[in-house]
Structure 1
Amino acid sequence: MRAFVRRSDRIRRWLTAALIAAAGSAIASSAGAAPQRVVSMNLCTDQIAMLLAAPGQLVSVSDLARDPRMSPMADRAQDYPINHGRAEEIYLMRPDLVIAGQYASGPTVAMLRRLGVRVEVLPPAEDIDAIRAEIMRMGGLLGREDKAAEVLARFERGLILADSNADRGRAALYYANGYTSGRDTLAGTILTAAGYRNVADDLGITDTRSLPLEMLVMARPDRLITGAKWPGQSRGEAILDHPALARIAPETAEVTDRDWVCGTPFVLRAIEALK
């Protein structure tokens, strides 16, 4: 029965992808010819644009794309001029398409549109279906639907390989300043995909919010998962060194932040790291 449900799940995924692909093609058709000079001004759109763009089509990515602590494609980003999300610098690049994230600077987006530049705003992908949709939508925007389908197929194969019925126990995500993430977040999705039950679910937390250290200790997770620490001294990160955490969850995994930051195919690496 379980195998049947899993096969049905995969069929549903592919049907969803096909529908999204059709929608992406419609976007590309309505926009006319594929854009020739594309600027991405968001770390997450940078990653998918670099995966899908034709040679010479992507002319700039955000400055964060070159940061190896934040970007899983930092090496490839060295090949692109960077931008800092300012309307003036982006306009001078003569783009025929600018791709921004949902939380991009409102004035920058507004000014570029007033100057006649086409700007598409993509929401963050917080779950697996949203990652699929983001890949296909980017493919439609760039006129690269075939490449998007290829990337999506690799992603689907990776998900199947990562799929496991193993119950790895209860885990807690815990970050600087005592924040945790629930099931409606990208981090929560990664945790579930790796076979863990999220302690945040037991506490009624579905988003990202503060979790008092005392409540975390009483929840007694089997594993504690934190982000990589940044250079320097941060009072916000000091809570992660509290001796109580080492005692309740000696199996602590420090996971590289760059594979968790954005909803892209690189979340597969985060899932595997947890195993």
Structure 2
Amino acid sequence: MNKNIRFLICLMILFCVCITGCGPLVSYNESSHTPHTRYVDSYDGVRVAVPENPKRILALSSAFDTILLGLVEPDRLVGINKLSTYEDYSLEAKRAKQVKPVMSSYPLEKIIALKPDLVIAPDYTSADVISGLRHMGIATVVVSSDSTVEGVIKNIKDVAYIVGEEEKGQFYDQKIHRELDEMKRLGASIPLEQRKTVLFVSSMDGYTGTGSLFDDMCKYMSIYNAPNKIGLPPRIPFGEERVLVMNPDFIFIPSYKGMDKGLADRYLANPAFQNLPVIKEHRVKPLPAAYLYTMNQHIGEAMLAIMHTVYPQLERSSHE
């Protein structure tokens, strides 16, 4: 009996030691392990700790607003660029209108006041703003503003990874590449000598010139970008003499909230252009500004829409 009692006492002591020994170990793991944080590589070379599932996201440009609205619900954004709420400027305008406040600029104080848990900044954001946000402990990731179609696809996947929506990023990657394959198929039916020359203008002179995103888009759409075709260097304004030399088959005017009348009048009402076939044959057309500023998941459908506008026979052949 005494042996049994001594044995039970020893078991109880051993059990207590095990419990007290395990206590600090569990506490240590809980305090040192951060399951809700992961690290991403920012474009500026900094490795940034970001929330695993960010709930208060702010993008510092309308381009990234549109990408985010295709990845997360609007209630996860703490602010939206004013341009993103305009119909025709953003193909996610309806969802953008659900986000408040609406912003037209991003001063550091205003960003901090929104208390974001994640900020996504384009690479042209002021270094002072980036460092100020990080100093305040706000996870801030810089993303490249690439001027190629493949660069846009990469940006979509990068932003998807940053916000923990990799599957959606992969979905858009596959979607856009299917659309690129469709453009390649359609383009094969257009002989080189029948390919059209397009001038897509912008209120930012030279924005659509040689080396621009639109210039790269043209390669997929089987059209010639007018500034590139005449060898105009990047970021050069399209003056009267240059437009006369370009002699484009189409001039597209980006529109949102109606056609940009001031921009349109530079061509439609300019006496210097009245003898151009593009003017006389009414081939100066408004297109949604979203098609021009399409650094997002809608780039494939935008290119297909432009392609069908330039080559209406493609629309007819698809229904035969």
> How would you bin the TM-score normalised by the shorter chain?
0.7 to 0.9
Alignment of 1:160-239 (within 5 A): 160-163=181-184, 164-165=187-188, 166=190, 167=192, 168-176=195-203, 179=206, 181-228=208-255, 238-239=265-266
Q: TM-score, normalised by structure 1?
A: 0.77
Alignment of 1:245-256 (within 5 A): 247-249=276-278, 250=281, 251-256=283-288
Aligned-pair CA distance for 1:231: 6.5
Aligned-pair CA distance for 1:62: 2.4
* CA deviation profile, 1:6-32 (whole Å, cap 9, x unmatched): xxxxxxxxxxxxxxxxxxx97389736
Please state if 1:31 is matched with 2:49. Answer: yes
* CA deviation profile, 1:72-94 (whole Å, cap 9, x unmatched): 21100122223532333332332
Aligned-pair CA distance for 1:51: 1.0
Q: 1:245 to 1:148 in 2, by over 3 A?
A: farther
For the 8 Å contact 1:194–1:272, the answer to whether it is kept is: yes
Instruction: Name the counterpart of 1:9.
Output: none
Find the residue that maps to 2:137 and give its secondary structure. Answer: coil
Greater C-alpha radius of gyration: 2
Q: Which has the higher contact order (CA 8 A, sep 6+)?
A: 1
* CA deviation profile, 1:53-108 (whole Å, cap 9, x unmatched): 26754333323221224222110012222353233333233222111223335544
Instruction: Name the counterpart of 2:148.
Output: 127
Q: 1:191 to 1:226 in 2, by over 3 A?
A: farther
Instruction: Name the counterpart of 1:117.
Output: 138
Aligned-pair CA distance for 1:36: 3.2
Aligned partner letter, 1:273: A
Aligned-pair CA distance for 1:185: 0.8
Instruction: Name the counterpart of 1:20.
Output: none
Aligned-pair CA distance for 1:137: 0.6
Please state if 1:40 is matched with 2:69. Answer: no
Instruction: Name the counterpart of 2:267.
Output: 240
Aligned-pair CA distance for 1:183: 4.0
- What is the aligned-residue identity percentage? 18
Q: Aligned pairs, how many?
A: 251
Alignment of 1:45-60 (within 5 A): 45-53=64-72, 56-60=75-79
For the 8 Å contact 2:89–2:255, the answer to whether it is kept is: no
Instruction: Name the counterpart of 1:74.
Output: 93
Aligned partner letter, 1:65: S
Q: 1:180 to 1:246 in 2, by over 3 A?
A: farther
Aligned partner letter, 2:300: L
For the 8 Å contact 1:52–1:144, the answer to whether it is kept is: yes
For the 8 Å contact 1:139–1:148, the answer to whether it is kept is: yes
Q: Distance in 1 between matches of 2:204 and 2:275?
A: 17
- Show structure 1 runs of 5+ residues with no match: 1-24
Aligned partner letter, 1:128: V
